[in-house]
Structures are given as structure tokens and as C-alpha cells.
Amino acid sequence: MSWYYCLTHQRVEPDDGCANDQRMGPYAMEAEASTALARAAERNATFHAQDDD
């Protein structure tokens, strides 16, 4: 089973949730999906920090 983080509803959903263009994933585990926004923010911060160098 795959898990997704729904950007519309701000929650974790299984395969049969919202349309893929409204969510992040897929993730193998529900716990991974629950941290999707935090991990994206970390990646963005790293990217922007490298851009400043």
C-alpha cells in the first residue's frame, strides 16, 4: 500500500484519496507521508543555502 500527503486536506491518505496533483508521494509508510511537508521544507532550505554560496 502507498501513502500520500494531501495538500488540500493537510492529512495523510491511502491510494484511494484525492487526485495525485493535489498530494505529495507516494511513500511506502504512513509515517513517511506524515513528514512530507517538513522534508520538503528542509530540502528547499538546503537548496537555497547552496544557491547563496
- Per-domain boundaries in the chain: 3-52
Asked whether the beta carbons of 33 and 49 are under 8 A apart, the reply is no
Largest CA distance in the chain: 43
Q: In this predicted structure, what is the pLDDT of residue 50?
A: 87
Query: Cell 488540500 sits at which residue?
Result: 8
The mean predicted confidence, pLDDT, of the chain is 94
The terminus-to-terminus CA distance of the chain in angstroms comes to 41
Per-residue pLDDT for 53 more than 90? no
Write the pLDDT tens digit of every residue in 19-42: 999 999 999 999 999 999 999 999
Q: Quick one: CA dihedral 41, 47, 48, 53, positive or negative?
A: positive
Per-residue pLDDT for 51 more than 90? no
Distance CA 33, CA 28 (A): 8
Per-residue pLDDT, averaged over 44-53, amounts to 84
Q: In this predicted structure, what is the pLDDT of residue 6?
A: 98
